[in-house]
Structure 1
Amino acid sequence: MKVAGKHVLITGGTSGIGLATAHALIAKGAKVFVTGRRQEVLDAALRELESASGVAADVATREGRSATLAKGTETLGGLDILINNAGGVRAGRLENTSEEEIEAMVAVDLLAPILLTRAALPALRASGEAAVVNVASGIALVGAPFYATYAAVKAGLAHFGEALRRELKGEGIHVMTAYPGGTDTPMMKSNRAGPELGFSREPASAVAQAIIEGIEANAFEVIRGGEARAKMIALNRDDPAAVDERFLSLKPALEDAVKDHAAL
């Protein structure tokens, strides 16, 4: 699928990977609509994007999803590509993570994209050539300590996408899952883990470019992190105990580095 001329809705499109993807799509001739929870951040993003439009809405709420889809499809004049990018995280030991924080991650990272996609299907079917892109996380492929709930919801999102891709096969709607690794975004500002703990960071623009290349290639998935990530995924499949031991040696430093990582 070529993205030029396509009508694209990006949740969480006011910063980080979402904003970078909006920039890259506009540069390729797509028409873009973005959402974000805070009006002032949305306004700043729209000034930066110039040709995009958007709405301040929380897709974790019924009202936010309704406003997102209604205003997005009306403004764009249809919908060809839905990018479920909005997300939130709270790292730390499970017993130190509040019930409210756990519920928030489930709501924004898993429930919101499922329900928004469900609501968007009629508009996507009308496109004739449509796509859904779910932005998961590398942690969905290799679970990391102190990210138990985040790993769970992102893995759930990935399998939702896989099952839905098969459900919609032959019906004009393709589904792709993106697995970013560590990315230099506002969401990562409170994470102090560096490359020595497995948290190398790449620019959001690189992830955005890979997502667009994946859309245009009708790829099933886009996995970031290069050869190192590929080796870790393979090791986790073939010898998960070895990955357990690797994380055991990193646990004290990793726990300290991510204990304040929160973006909800």
Structure 2
Amino acid sequence: MDVEGKRILITGGSSGIGLATARALVARGARLVITGRRSGEVDAAVEDLRTGGADVSGVSADVSTDDGRSTTLHGAMRALGGLDILMNNAGAVRAGRLDEIREDEIRAMVEVDLVAPILLTRAALPALKAEGGGMIVNVTSGIALVAMPFYATYAAVKAGLASFSESLRRELNGEGVHVLTVYPSGTDTPMMATNKAGADVGFSLEPAAAVAAAIIEGIEQETIAVVRGGPDRQAMIDLNRRDPLALDARFLATKSAFEEGVKSHDAM
């Protein structure tokens, strides 16, 4: 798919992977609407993206709510006059031991990371189908492929989103709407700012621009998945499929240090 002139809605587009992808898309001539919960951040991102005359609008809304999803989609349709690509990117994470995470934090992850993209996709499907060549881009996480300790709920909802994406891809096959699933590894974004785990326990961060470039390539080539993390992450994915107990042992060896590093990870 050639993104030039395409009308694209990006949730969580005011920072991180969403904003980096928006920058890459406007450089290729796409028309955008970005959304986020914080109006100040959305306005600042729109102003930044409009440099050079790009066609970008912003919507301040919480996609985890019915009203927020309605405001988001109606705002995008009003600004763009239609929709070619929906990128479900908004996310929330809270790491730590399951019995130490509050119920409201668990429910927030379920609503933001899983329920919101499912319901927003359902609402956007008529517009995407009307164009005869639409696309849905679901940003999940590498944790959907290898579930790490102390991320039980986050791993569950991201794996759920990945399965939703796979099933929907097959459901829409031959109907003009393609589904692309993105599995970022650790990425240098504001969402990761409170995570103190380092390379000693397997956490390394790549630039958001690198993930964005891979997403654009996936859109242009209409691939079904973008998996980040390089050969080391792929080796871990393969090991998890072939011998999950070996990976359990590897996590056990760094468990205490890993817990200490991620227990402050809070991006809700």
User: Which letter maps to 2:157?
Assistant: V
Counterpart in 1 of 2:159? 155
Counterpart in 2 of 1:130? 134
Matched, 1:221 2:236: no
Counterpart in 1 of 2:22? 22
Q: Percent identity, aligned pairs only?
A: 65
Q: 1:56 aligns with which of 37, 53, 60?
A: 60
Q: 2:189 aligns with which of 185, 193, 214?
A: 185
1:183-207 per-residue CA deviation (whole Å, 9 max, x = no partner) reads 0000000000111211110000000
Counterpart in 2 of 1:235? 239
SS at match of 2:178: strand
Give TM-score scaled by structure 2 length: 0.98
- 1:74 CA displacement: 1.3
Counterpart in 1 of 2:41? 41
User: Which letter maps to 1:223?
Assistant: V
Counterpart in 1 of 2:213? 209
- 1:148 CA displacement: 0.4
Segments of structure 2 that go 5 or more residues without pairing to the other structure are none
1:91-150 per-residue CA deviation (whole Å, 9 max, x = no partner) reads 000000111000000000000000000000000011111100000000000000000000
In 2: Cα distance, 1:261 partner to 1:135 partner? 19
Counterpart in 2 of 1:10? 10
In 2: Cα distance, 1:4 partner to 1:157 partner? 28
In 2: Cα distance, 1:259 partner to 1:226 partner? 25
Segments of structure 1 that go 5 or more residues without pairing to the other structure are none
SS at match of 1:174: strand
In 1: Cα distance, 2:49 partner to 2:198 partner? 31
Over the aligned positions, Cα root-mean-square deviation in angstroms equals 0.5
1:197-219 per-residue CA deviation (whole Å, 9 max, x = no partner) reads 11110000000010010011111
Counterpart in 1 of 2:265? 261
SS at match of 1:231: helix
* Deviation >3 Å, runs of 4+: none
SS at match of 1:177: strand
The answer to which of 47-56 and 142-151 deviates more is: 47-56
